Amino acid sequence: MTKIKQMLCALLTVCLLLIGSANAMAAQPDTPSISVSANATIEVTPDTAVISFDVNGKGRTAAEATSASATKMDSVKHNLLGCNILGNDITTTSYTLYHDTDIKGKITGYTASNSVRIKLKDISKLGPLIDKISAAGVDTINNISFSVSNRELYRNKLLAQAVENARQQAAVVANAGGRTLGKLLSANISTYSGGMERSYGNMKLMAAADRAAAPETSIAAQEITIKASVDTVFAME
């Protein structure tokens, strides 16, 4: 019984010591700090374009439609020779075969549609590329999107600039309050819009017969805004 009492007394002493230590820590004032949110932006000229379009073939039968689409696709690939389009830069995203009907619902023929995506790493060739696609019989561009390839390079620079902007703002506030700005205690990336694409859709192309007399297609891509935002906490001395 005596041993049990001794153990209980020892346990009670340890608990009291822990409680006293916790109260002492709670009584200590927190490190003076200041929280600042800041951002940095940059306007970048895009260097990559992605063109999406359909290569359609029509026929009285499904086989004829499929053959017509394949023939037109071969023409597209042939026209793109010399445009420095690598094999993995031109892909089929979907392929559909469906029947056409008249107003009474009677089948009048078939359409085979090959949805194609081309990634162009030299956007100065975009206009000539569109002309070559048009010459192969494609009459509509579904979408053209522009982006920046080296996003990580801009990302790191913007994050560093955003933190520096936060530091400068925090220093102004700290100095105004008679304090000196200390070290960075924490930082979180709140937002980052990394080279968001600008897209343009549903571009009707001239018929091949009219294309010969028309000037070369010219497309100028708008600059892309990249933005980084950070939430920071700095110590004050």
**Residue 4 · residue 12 · CB < 8 Å:** no
Domain at 47-148+202-220, CATH homologous superfamily: Protein of unknown function (DUF541), domain 2 (3.30.70.2970)
Unique residue bearing structure tokens 């379009």:
53
Per-residue pLDDT, 124: 86
Decide: pTM greater than 0.75: no
Using CA atoms, how far apart are residues 219 and 125, in angstroms rounded to an integer? 10
Q: Residues 52-57: what's their mean pLDDT?
A: 93
- Under DSSP, is residue 139 helix (H, G, I), strand (E, B) or coil? coil
Residue 34 and residue 236 in contact, taking contact as beta carbons nearer than 8 Å: yes
Cβ atoms of 225 and 45 closer than 8 Å: no
Average pLDDT of the chain, as a whole number: 81
Percent above pLDDT 90 for the chain = 43
Among 151, 234, 164, CA closest to 192:
151
Per-residue pLDDT at 154 exceeds 50: yes
Q: How far is CA 58 from CA 94, 98, 186, 225, in A?
A: 17, 10, 62, 42
State pLDDT tens for residues 93-118: 999 999 999 898 899 999 999 999 99
pLDDT at 197 > cutoff 70: no
DSSP assignment of 170-185 equals HHHHHHHTT--EEEEE
Six-digit token pair at 137?
């019989």
| Span 13-33, pLDDT tens digits | 333 333 444 443 343 457 899
DSSP designation for 89: G
* Per-residue pLDDT, 112: 94
- For residue 48, give the H/E element and its range: strand 48-59
